[in-house]
Structure formats: structure tokens, C-alpha cells
Amino acid sequence: MNKRVADLRRDYSYEVLSETNADSNPFEQFQAWFNQALAAELPEPNAMTIATAGSDGKPSARIVLLKGYDERGFVFYTNYKSHKGQQLLENPWGALVFWWAQLERQVRIEGRVEKVSDGESDAYFNSRPPASQLGAWGSEQSQVIENRQVLEQKLEQLKQEYEGKKVTRPPHWGGFRVVPVEIEFWQGRPNRLHDRLLYRRSEDGNWKIQRLSP
């Protein structure tokens, strides 16, 4: 029997999040939760939604993969000429969302977005499998193409062109870093009275923790 979408619901009771058990540093708190997501063997725990908006203010969102993080921010890689790349170049602000369903947890991150250094982009690109490296050259991301055969033919041409050669990083491909000004940790709780702790960066660079009503 089909179930109405409005009737789909689940009560959350896995864990609690309080000011006393949360780390005062949001990056340390993220590290702890990310490690738990890894230990739980969640599928692609580094998958995250990134929302962007161009100069016209129209929002757009899609899922990308987190490829690095530290106290400078959260890094992912893409084609700079893609839709999200162009939006970020026009309006360098973004929002990230991680959803770890099995742990009943969500992390939201908002901040300015900047390109990572060429050295960082080169280092990550060189760590990718050869087929992925060629794919960065072969795909004009977000552009309209006639059919899939166009991609497959381009990849085959690139394989022949680079056979026995080192594949260098395309100048239109590299990393973005989301430098957070706010990070919110959300823990599902019973009766929809969820725990929400917001870390907000102050002008002096320190973080202030506030509890939000669910």
C-alpha cells in the first residue's frame, strides 16, 4: 500500500547534544562527529550539499564531496566554469549541509568562499585516479551536449593523447574553500524537540555557542 508523503515520519532518540558535551571549537566538534560517521561506516559520509547563488540572487544546490577540512575551512573541487563555479565567482558565499541519517545528525555551515591555492589544487589533482584526471579535461561541466557519446569519444581521444604522459591539472579545474562564519550542529531528539547548537564567529575570531529552538 502506498503511503502518503505527509505520513512519513520518524522519531529520533539516538543521542543528545548539550553545551556540556560539545567541544568549544566547532572544528573539533566536526572532527568528532565525522570520525563517528566513519566508524559507523555510513555511505559517503563526506557527501555534502552546497548551496550557491549568482549575481541574480537565484539559489542553486547540489551534492559534492568534501575533500579536506581544517580550521581554515571546508574544501571541495570542481570545474570553475561549471554552474556552481560561476555562481561562486559572482557571489563568493556558500552554505553546506551534511546529513548523517543513521546518526540522526545534521551539520550546517555558512561562510565566504575562496579558491584554494594552485599548490593545493595540484596536489589533490595528482592524487586522483588517471581516469578522473582525464575526466576533468573531457567534461565541459554544466554545458549542454548532444549525447553521452560525445563524452565517451572525448575521453577516448584524451586517453590516446596522454598515453604514457603525466596528466596536468586543467587551469579551469580546482578547489574552493568555504570559510565558515557559522556552523550549526543538529541532533535529532524525540517529539521534534531537536538539539541545535550554533557556533558563530565573532570579529575577534573566537566562537560563541548559542542554543537554537528547534
Q: Could you report the per-residue pLDDT of 60-92, keeping only the tens digit for each? A: 999 999 999 999 999 999 999 999 999 999 999
Highest mean pLDDT among 9-23, 139-153, 197-211: 197-211
Q: What is the dihedral of CA 16, 17, 22, 25, to 10 degrees?
A: 140
81 vs 151, residue with greater confidence? 81
Predicted TM-score (pTM) of this structure: 0.91
Mean pLDDT, rounded, for 49-69: 97
Q: What is the mean pLDDT of the chain?
A: 94
Q: In 10 A of CB 45, how many CB atoms?
A: 21
pLDDT at site 139: 87
Q: Are 26 and 183 in contact (CB under 8 A)?
A: yes
pLDDT at position 1: 59
The residues annotated as belonging to the active site are: 192
Reading the block at residue 67, the C-alpha cell is 575533500
In 47-147, the DSSP E strands lie at 47-53, 59-65, 68-70, 73-79, 93-100, 105-115
Sorted by where each starts, the structural domains of the chain and their CATH numbers stand as: 12-127+172-211 (2.30.110.10)
Q: Is the pLDDT of residue 104 over 70?
A: yes
Could you report the per-residue pLDDT of 157-184, keeping only the tens digit for each? 998 889 989 999 999 999 999 999 999 9
pLDDT at site 2: 75
- How many of the other CB atoms lie within 10 Å of CB of 65? 12
pLDDT of residue 213: 97
- Measured in whole angstroms, the distance separating CA 13 from the mean position of its chain's CA atoms is 26
Confidence of residue 140 (pLDDT cuts 50, 70, 90): confident
Residue 11 has pLDDT above 70, yes or no: yes
